[in-house]
Amino acid sequence: MSIVPTTRTSGHSVPLTLGAVAMASVGGSVAVSAELGDAPLFTAQAVRYAVAVLLLVGLARVTGNRVLRPRGTEWLWLLAVAAVGLVLFNVALVRGAAHAEPAALGVAVACVPVVLALVGPLLEGGRPTARAVLAAAVVTAGAVLVQTGGRTDLAGLGWAATVLACEVGFTLLAVPVLRRLGPWSVSVHTCWLATAQLVVLGTVTEGPAAVTALRAPHLLAIAYLAVVLTAIAFVLWYSAVGRLGTALAGLLTGVAPVAAAVVGVLLGAPLPGPAVWAGTAIVVAGLLTGVHLAPRAPSQRH
C-alpha cells in the first residue's frame, strides 16, 4: 500500500460523498420507520439486522472485501457499538416518539457534530481544534433550526438525550477497531451482534411467536431499513469516518434532518417554512466551512 498526497478537494470528495449519502439515508428513513410503530419492537429490529447481515456478507464476497475476525478487546468494542448504537438507539427512538415529536428527537441528533468535534479527535490521538468546533456548531445550529418546534415532556427529554448518546456512540465506539477491521468487518459484526441481542430481548419480552404479528407494511419497512439504512449506509458511514476522521465526518450528520424534510415533501407533506430553508442554508455553510478548514487528506492505493 502506497500513500500518495493529493489536493484537499480530491482527497475528501469521495469520503464526503459517502458520508453525505449515508446521512441522507438516515434522514430519509424517518417516514419509513414510522411504519413500525405498532410492530413488536425487538422482533422487527432483529429481523432487520438479520437480513442486513446476509446482505453485507454477500456484498462483501461479491466486491472482494474480506470480513476479518475480531481479536481480544475488539469484541468488547463491537459489542458496545451493537448494544448502544443499534439496539438502545432504536429503543430510544420508538419509546421517545411516544413523548416527543420527531423534530424534538431530531434536535438531539443534530447536536452530534459538536460532540464528535470535541471528543472524536481525542480518541484518534489528537485534540479538537477551535475551527473544527466552530464548523460543527454552525452545522448544529442549522440542523436545530430545521427541526425547530418539536413538542416534548420530561420523559421525552430523557429519551432525546439517550438518542444523542447512542448516535455519538455508534461512531466513537467504532473508532478503536475501524483501522484494523475496516468498515465492512465492523458493519457485519455489529449487525449480527445486535441481531443476537435483539433475539434474546424479543423472546423474553414479546415471545417467540411475535414474528407472526409482522404484517406486509412492516415487512416492507424492514426490507427498506435492512437494505438502505443498514447494509448500505453502515458501510458508507464507517468508510467516511475512517478516511475523514470523526470531527469532519461528524459535520455530515447535519445532512440527516435536511434530508428528512425533503423526503417529507416528496411523500406529500407541505413545503417547508422559512425556518427550514434558513436552517438548510446554515447547514450547507457549516459543511463548506468544515471542508475548507480541513487538512489535506491522503488517498490510499492498495
- Tell me, yes or no, whether 18 lies in a domain: no
Specify whether the backbone of 256 is left (phi greater than 0), alpha (psi in -120 to 50) or beta.
Answer: alpha
Distance CA 112, CA 171 (A): 10
Spatial CB neighbours of 38, under 8 Å, sequence gap ≥ 6: none
Distance CA 168, CA 116 (A): 7
- Tell me, yes or no, whether 12 lies in a domain: no
Question: At residue 102, what is the residue type?
Answer: P
Residues 273/276/280/285 CA torsion (nearest 10 deg): 100
- At 73-85, the pLDDT tens digits run 999 999 999 999 9
Domain that holds residue 152: 27-296
The crossing angle, in degrees rounded to 10, of helices 112-123 and 102-110 is 30
Residue 298 is predicted with a pLDDT of: 41
Distances (CA, A) of 83 to 40, 75, 170, 193, 236: 18, 12, 9, 8, 20
Residue 9 is predicted with a pLDDT of: 43
- Tell me, yes or no, whether 4 lies in a domain: no
Please provide the average confidence, as pLDDT, over all residues in the chain. 80
Place of cell 461512531: 171
- Tell me, yes or no, whether 302 lies in a domain: no
199 in Cβ contact with 24 (< 8 Å):
no
Residue 5 is predicted with a pLDDT of: 37
Distances (CA, A) of 114 to 79, 129, 223, 255, 261: 25, 11, 32, 14, 22
245 in Cβ contact with 70 (< 8 Å):
no
Distance CA 172, CA 123 (A): 8
The tens-digit pLDDT sequence of the chain (302 residues) is 333 333 444 467 888 888 888 888 877 776 677 678 789 999 999 999 999 999 999 999 999 999 999 999 999 999 999 999 999 988 887 777 667 666 566 666 667 777 777 777 777 677 767 777 777 777 777 766 766 655 556 777 778 788 888 988 999 999 999 989 999 999 999 999 999 999 999 999 999 999 999 999 999 989 999 998 899 999 998 988 888 888 777 778 777 777 776 776 776 666 667 776 777 777 777 767 766 655 544 434 33
Distances (CA, A) of 227 to 19, 54, 212, 232: 16, 10, 21, 6
- Tell me, yes or no, whether 51 lies in a domain: yes
Distance CA 34, CA 226 (A): 15
- Tell me, yes or no, whether 250 lies in a domain: yes
- Tell me, yes or no, whether 15 lies in a domain: no
- Tell me, yes or no, whether 9 lies in a domain: no
- At 103-145, the pLDDT tens digits run 566 666 667 777 777 777 777 677 767 777 777 777 777 766 7
Residue 42 is predicted with a pLDDT of: 94
Domain count for the chain:
1
